[in-house]
């Protein structure tokens, strides 16, 4: 198949509008109202007074919630278009919220759109798409890590209700969420991949008890956006079951695959932002009588970053194109490979950017320290890089076969003997 990332002129004009809009209207929000807590706290006055008018401008351009289908008020863009959009949005922490694609809300909206009932869509999806509420994805457990086989949070049927009990860790934005999508084991007698289910749990349900708020390394202890929560006999009606009993991992793969790819798209923008910072610093600072840009080691860092950015961007676009062609479930290898590259390229780029900025780079007067921790988090969230490498390796190995006999297929004596036997008549004539 011919690979083509070209877009029509009308959409390129939209991308130009997005670039200008993000720089002029959204990036100032990062400095005036920075921090995840403000982005997810829909009751903060910035949302009513500033963000919602900006969201209206996005709607007027036909660019709101582009990952969702038109029947739900989105645009239903393919992944290539989303990639080109998101690499611009990745330059600002507020941009995804202004464009209606803020995680985890975007992923929760996708599974509600695909698997929610009409009542669930009306109650949870519609206000989420309108940007009026935030949501939470509550899956990770303190002891489970990346292995869901260790999950212990359970849900038991009790008449027309389900009772959820257990603990979850890093349930991001729960303190501001109207509801959480909670994964719980509903059948402990089968493998967890067939015995776990998802539930829609309103955040104000009795028994939803946040034990503490956990932040990133730069947050003060006890502060942060990631809840350690205990569900203590939380009772929800049967209609809050999402997608059917035992379907949690089917839903999770549909949600996380797209989320991984979208994180990568936005990371392209973050890496490009780092490259801009590197070049600006190199051209502006003088040491030993000449600009940093004249130093070969600095030139090496800039060249490496530019090359890796081009490779990474093309990898993301290619994975997006594959999803558009064959669907996300058939593009698992490409998505897994992108997931690994996201953390690696971002981390290496930020490290170089810090190095060029010197002490300023590690200070709290530049965004680089937070970006570095964010890059490292990319290697853990939605499955650690090591797990995705294993998935890629297994997929690649399936495309190859073992060789019979003691010698590899590229063994020169064997290949030479086969070639000489094939062309023996010509070789003998020459002799």
CATH code for position 162: 2.40.110.10
Pair 226, 195: CB distance under 8 Å: no
In 3D, which of 177, 217, 192, 193 has the Cα closest to residue 380? Answer: 217
Cα 249–86–47 angle (5° rounding)?
Answer: 90
Please check whether residues 158 and 187 belong to one and the same domain. yes
Same domain flag for 220 and 263: no
Q: Do 293 and 372 sit in the same domain of this protein?
A: yes
* Chosen domain end from 192, 217, 242: 242
Q: How far apart are CA 260 and CA 333, in angstroms?
A: 12
Instruction: Specify whether 283 is located in the same domain as 387.
Output: yes
Q: Which domain holds residue 214?
A: 135-242
Q: Quick one: 274 and 388 in the same domain?
A: yes
Residue 121 lies in a domain: no
Asked if residues 240 and 200 have their Cβ atoms less than 8 Å apart, the reply is yes
Q: Return the C-alpha torsion angle 125, 338, 351, 277, nearest 10.
A: -70
Examine residue 127 and state whether it is found in any structural domain, yes or no.
no
Contacts (Cβ under 8 Å, ≥6 apart) of 211: 167, 227, 228, 229, 230
Shared domain for 222 and 340, answered yes or no, is no
Whether 274 and 169 share a structural domain: no
Q: Would you say residue 39 lies in a domain? A: yes
Same domain, 87 and 223: no
Structural domain contains residue 107: yes
Cis preceding-peptide flag for 23 (omega within 30 of 0): no
CA–CA dist 391, 152 (Å, integer): 25
Q: Residue 260 maps to which CATH number?
A: 1.20.140.10
Rg (CA), the chain: 25
Task: Among 83, 116, 149, identify where a domain stops.
Answer: 116
CA angle, residues 32, 38, 44, in degrees to nearest 5: 95
Please indicate, yes or no, if residue 427 is contained in any of the structural domains. no
* Domains: count for the chain: 3
Does residue 384 share a domain with residue 281? yes
405 DSSP assignment = S
Direct distance between the N- and C-terminal alpha carbons of the chain, in angstroms, rounded to an integer: 46
Rounded Cα distance between 178 and 41, Å, is 10
On whether both 13 and 139 belong to a single domain, the answer is no
- Asked, for residue 4, whether it belongs to a domain, the answer is no
Domain boundary (242, 269, 285) is at 242
Q: Give Dmax over CA atoms of the chain in angstroms.
A: 92
pLDDT digit string (tens) for the chain, length 431 residues: 678 888 899 999 999 999 999 999 999 999 999 777 899 999 999 999 999 999 999 999 999 999 998 888 789 999 999 999 999 999 999 999 999 999 999 999 989 998 999 999 999 999 999 889 999 999 999 987 768 889 999 999 999 999 999 999 999 999 999 999 999 999 999 999 999 999 999 999 999 999 999 999 988 888 889 999 999 999 999 999 999 999 999 998 878 778 899 999 999 999 999 999 999 999 999 999 999 999 999 999 999 999 999 999 999 999 999 999 999 889 999 999 999 999 999 999 999 999 999 999 999 999 999 999 999 999 998 889 999 999 999 999 999 999 999 999 999 999 999 999 999 999 988 76
Task: Please report whether residue 421 resides in a domain.
Answer: no
CB atoms within 10 A of CB 32: 10
Give domain status of residue 348, yes or no.
Answer: yes
Do 15 and 97 lie in one domain? The reply is yes
Distances (CA, A) of 288 to 298, 353, 356, 361, 378: 14, 20, 15, 20, 38
Conformation bin of residue 144: beta by default, left when phi > 0, alpha when psi is -120 to 50: alpha
CATH number at residue 49: 1.10.540.10
Residues 218, 256, single domain; the answer is no
pTM, rounded to two decimals: 0.92
């Amino acid at each position: 198949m011919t690979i083509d990332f070209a877009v029509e002129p009308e959409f390129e004009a939209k991308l130009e509008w997005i670039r200008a809009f993000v720089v002029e209207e959204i990036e100032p929000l990062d400095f005036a109202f920075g921090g995840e807590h403000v982005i997810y706290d829909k009751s903060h006055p910035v949302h009513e007074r500033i963000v919602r008018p900006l969201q209206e401008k996005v709607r007027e351009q036909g660019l709101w919630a582009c990952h969702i289908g038109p029947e739900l008020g989105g645009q239903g863009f393919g992944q290539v278009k989303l990639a080109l959009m998101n690499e611009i949005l990745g330059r600002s922490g507020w941009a995804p919220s202004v464009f209606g694609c803020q995680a985890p809300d975007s992923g929760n909206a996708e599974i509600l759109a695909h698997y929610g009932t009409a009542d669930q869509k009306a109650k949870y999806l519609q206000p989420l798409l309108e940007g009026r509420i935030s949501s939470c994805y509550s899956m990770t457990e303190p002891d489970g890590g990346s292995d869901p086989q260790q999950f212990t949070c359970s849900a038991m049927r009790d008449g027309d209700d389900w009772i959820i009990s257990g603990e979850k860790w890093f349930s991001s934005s729960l303190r501001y969420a109207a509801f959480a999508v909670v994964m719980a084991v509903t059948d402990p007698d089968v493998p967890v991949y067939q015995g776990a289910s998802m539930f829609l749990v309103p955040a104000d349900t009795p028994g939803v008890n946040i034990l503490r708020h956990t932040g990133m390394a730069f947050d003060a202890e006890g502060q942060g956006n990631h809840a350690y929560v205990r569900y203590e006999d939380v009772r929800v009606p049967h209609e809050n079951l999402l997608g059917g009993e035992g379907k949690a991992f089917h839903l999770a793969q549909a949600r996380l695959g797209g989320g991984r790819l979208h994180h990568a798209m936005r990371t392209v923008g973050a890496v490009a932002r780092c490259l801009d910072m590197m070049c600006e610093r190199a051209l502006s600072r003088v040491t030993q009588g000449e600009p940093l840009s004249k130093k070969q080691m600095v030139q090496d860092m800039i060249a490496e970053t530019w090359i890796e950015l081009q490779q990474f961007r093309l990898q993301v676009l290619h994975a997006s194109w594959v999803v558009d062609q064959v669907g996300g479930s058939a593009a698992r290898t490409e998505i897994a490979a992108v997931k690994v590259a996201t953390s690696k390229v971002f981390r290496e780029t930020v490290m170089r950017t810090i190095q060029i900025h010197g002490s300023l780079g590690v200070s709290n007067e530049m965004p680089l320290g937070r970006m570095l921790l964010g890059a490292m988090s990319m290697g853990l969230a939605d499955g650690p890089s090591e797990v995705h490498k294993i998935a890629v390796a297994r997929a690649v190995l399936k495309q190859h076969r073992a060789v019979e006999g003691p010698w590899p297929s590229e063994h020169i004596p064997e290949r030479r003997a086969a070639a000489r036997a094939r062309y023996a008549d010509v070789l003998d004539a020459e002799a």
